Amino acid sequence: MFFSSWVKQLLENNDKGHVVATCRNPNASTGLLHLKDRFDDRLQVLPLDLTVESSIE
């Protein structure tokens, strides 16, 4: 939950710019999904698993 709190601070404290957040399973990250609902135009959530090389490319 720390990561989504950090993303929330970035989005709430600055009304400009775009944030790209990554996690293993975006559909399971309720914190990021909630932020995506609030900041859809500024937040992009992408899947990334550092143990799977193909997800990094």
What is the rounded average pLDDT of the residues 4-28? 90
Three-state DSSP class for residue 34: helix
pTM across the whole model: 0.79
Residue 37 reports pLDDT greater than 90: yes
pLDDT at position 56 is 84
pLDDT at position 1 is 56
Strand partners, 21: 45
What is the rounded average pLDDT of the residues 11-39? 91
By C-alpha distance, which of 51, 52, 1, 13 is closest to 21? 1
Question: What are the residue boundaries of the structural domains of the chain, listed by start?
Answer: 2-56
What is the rounded average pLDDT of the residues 24-52? 93
pLDDT at position 2 is 62
